[in-house]
Amino acid sequence: GDSVTQMEGPVTLSEEAFLTINCTYTATGYPSLFWYVQYPGEGLQLLLKATKADDKGSNKGFEATYRKETTSFHLEKGSVQVSDSAVYFCAIDGSSNTGKLIFGQGTTLQVKP
Amino acid sequence: GAVVSQHPSWVICKSGTSVKIECRSLDFQATTMFWYRQFPKQSLMLMATSNEGSKATYEQGVEKDKFLINHASLTLSTLTVTSAHPEDSSFYICSAFHSTDTQYFGPGTRLTVL
């Protein structure tokens, strides 16, 4: 079945460091890809998404490119801030196009001043 | 962006009792809502799809008689955990499917069964 694998955390960075969180997926079709962020004590928020191969999603300085050949959707940010500390979830909507999301295990990011 | 609320935000109950959790889309109508369960430091696992005006569809391994879902209106879905036991303690999260093909998530409900 469809699945999502994220790099394990926690990831601890200093402010202004470069961030990469790896995400790979398996799916039989052509899913849409998402990154969600969960700040402490809050619900999940959509960070960015991409719906087809080579699409780049971007928001708040974060970027991710839909790489069909490597089935990946790695999250990057050039300069992280303390306020970026949160849990990041990679997700796909699966092959059935029903809106059901399959999530990776989440990666905790801690940014230190 | 669109807002989804959940009520209550946390609940503590005794073993054997039932607990109802509400999920509301505040500024849009949602024919489809989803219920997820999140264990500590783990990912979200889809439990069921709630469709307005019809029966919910449950994921494999989820007991439909244990987790009753009702989607009586375009802005409200409820999840009732019946005869709750300590192993049902978890963080329950709903999402509502917006017309823009984006899901908006509620803040979650922490259930603790004593």
Q: Residue B43: its chain A contacts at CB < 8 A?
A: 89, 103-106
Q: Tell me if chain B has a CB within 8 Å of the CB of A88.
A: no
**How far from B9 is each of B14, B16, B35, B112, CA to CA, in Å?**
17, 20, 15, 11
Beta-ladder partners of B36: B46, B93
Most B-contacting residue of A3, A100, A109, A110 (CB-CB within 10 A), to test interface: A100
Round the average pLDDT of chain B to a whole number and report it: 92
Q: What percent of chain B has pLDDT over 70?
A: 98
* Chain B residues inside the 8 Å CB shell of A43: 4, 6, 93, 105-108
DSSP character for A72? B
How far apart CA B86 and CA A92 sit, in angstroms, is 31
Q: How far apart are CA A98 and CA B73, in angstroms?
A: 20
Q: Strand locations in chain A, DSSP E?
A: 3-6, 11-14, 19-21, 23-26, 33-38, 44-50, 56-59, 62-65, 75-77, 86-92, 102-103, 107-112
**Hey, are the CB atoms on A98 and B102 less than 8 Å from each other?**
no
What is the structure's pLDDT at A90?
96
State pLDDT tens for residues B35-80. 999 887 778 899 999 988 888 999 999 999 999 999 989 999 999 9
Reported as a single tens digit per residue, the pLDDT across A4-58 is 999 888 999 999 999 999 999 999 888 999 999 999 878 889 999 999 999 999 9
Task: Give tens-digit pLDDT for A71-96.
Answer: 999 999 999 999 999 999 999 987 56
* Residue A23 contacts B where some CB pair is shorter than 8 Å: no
Contact B43 A44 (CB under 8 A): no
- For residue B47, give the amino acid letter: M
Decide if B62 contacts B48 (C-beta within 8 A).
yes
Cβ atoms B32, B6 nearer than 8 A: no
Q: What is the pLDDT of residue B47?
A: 95
Strand-pairing partners, residue A92, are: A33, A102
CA distances to A58, A63, A91, B61, B109 from A48, rounded to whole Å, are 6, 8, 11, 31, 25
Confidence of residue B3 (pLDDT cuts 50, 70, 90): confident
